[in-house]
Amino acid sequence: MSVKFAVLGHGVVGSGVVELFYKNKKSIEKRAGTEMDIKYILDLRDFPDSPYHDKFTKDFNDILNDDEVTSVAECMGGVEPAFTFVKACLEKGKSVSTSNKELVAEKGDILLAAAKAHNCNFFFEASVGGAIPIIRPLHRCLAANDINKVAGILNGTTNFILTKMYNDNMSFADALKLAQELGYAEKDPTADVEGHDACRKICIISSLVFGKHVYPKYVYTKGISEVDLADVAAADILGHAIKLIASVRRLDDGRILPCVMPMLIPHENIMAGVSDVFNSVLVYGDGIDQAMFYGRGAGKLPTASAVLGDVIESVKHKITVFSQSWDSSDDNSFIAPVEELSTRWYFRVPADCDAVGEGAYTDDNGTSFITEEVLTFTQAADKAKALNALAYIPVMD
């Protein structure tokens, strides 16, 4: 018997799922332990030249009402209509594998509960870190650990832009255009540049690790639009790279502090060397100490690889294997405000500022230095004001 699945959306990721599936169909079937085929591809656009044009439908009900379709790959992006479609599929007992981080970050609790109630799977490995296996390792391989911190470069587009700007002297606009051409950026690249995409991903990780739904609206998020190349260059001379870091840590009182912001990473930290579209995630646990995950964080086939891995898993395990879900949360009292973030800070101040200590670096753009003392977010803002700082950025510890 051949297992039939459907692909919702034929954009960058959806078309990658179809391409990779047919490229590796034989080995995929071997790994799934059964013959498999794509029965439908849902998209409102026409693809008359596609070799799979006979599989296209514009009507989601064709998929929903076809009992032969037992697994669905959702690659449409956005909350609606993806949420309505995915929920309906799960309620019919069809497992869903998604690359849609916005959907999981906003509605993951509801969809996981629906999957559990209807004895099927809701998988979302592709929603964080593109090709990198991180969701299943966090939930399964590292399940014995008390995980107290996760930090990562979780947006390929911004990492690509920062790399091109610094290494190749490319303008921000050109680097962004290239990222769009390569299929890395979101439909609205503001979500990448302003950190919203990384925020959704750290929300998913936080919910999974700490067991309570963390909504993006409660997470302090600052993107790279204000990162000045003068700071990238000065940070480099001070022994650091600037990266957009999404992180979450558990505080001593049990609350968690998730945030997204550009940070200085010491060159000796392996994360400083993560360039281009690559993502990396560092997980800190009491059993493992640290584990790092690294790979392509965006793009057609890398993301399709993660989606198809989930589809294969859902075909192999027809009953629920993703037994961990997270609780819904109506209040945000378990989330600490960013004002409590305590770390060392990088400052760039006017060159005539005399309140600067040893190790400072001065050029035409001002004087740059890293504090020895740890300051909270609020204390750093006060210091920046007092020094008329041109820029101030936290350092990742």
- The footprint of ligand HSE (CB under 6 A) covers 101, 130, 155-157, 184-186, 192, 197, 297-298
153 or 263: CB nearest ligand HSE: 153
Active-site pick, 101, 107, 164, 201: 201
Measured distance CA(220)–CA(337) in Å, rounded: 8
**Shortest distance in whole angstroms from residue 309 CB to ligand HSE:** 16
Residues contacting residue 139 through CB under 8 Å, at least 6 positions apart: 208, 322, 324
Q: Which is nearer to ligand HSE, 64 or 170 (CB)?
A: 170
Q: Closest approach of Cβ 265 to ligand HSE, in Å?
A: 18
CB of 184 to ligand HSE, least distance (A): 5
Instruction: Say whether 201 is catalytic.
Output: yes
Closest CA to 276 of 175, 147, 142, 196: 175
Please say whether the dihedral angle defined by the alpha carbons of residues 346, 155, 129 and 199, taken in this order, is positive or negative: positive
Closest residue to ligand HSE, Cβ-based?
157
Rounded to a whole number of angstroms, the minimum distance from the CB of residue 218 to ligand HSE is 21
Nearest to ligand HSE of 72, 204 (CB atom): 204
Helix locations, the chain, DSSP H: 12-23, 25-32, 60-64, 82-91, 101-117, 135-136, 156-168, 172-181, 190-193, 196-210, 229-237, 300-316, 377-386
Neighbouring CB atoms inside 10 A of 374's CB total 13
For the bound state, the minimum distance from the C-beta of residue 299 to ligand HSE, rounded and expressed in Å, comes to 8
State the Cα–Cα distance between residues 122 and 396, nearest whole angstrom: 33
- Tell me the angle at which helices 172-181 and 156-168 cross, rounded to the nearest 10 degrees: 130
Question: If phi over 0 gives left and psi between -120 and 50 gives alpha, with beta otherwise, what is residue 344?
Answer: beta
Active centre residues (catalytic): 201
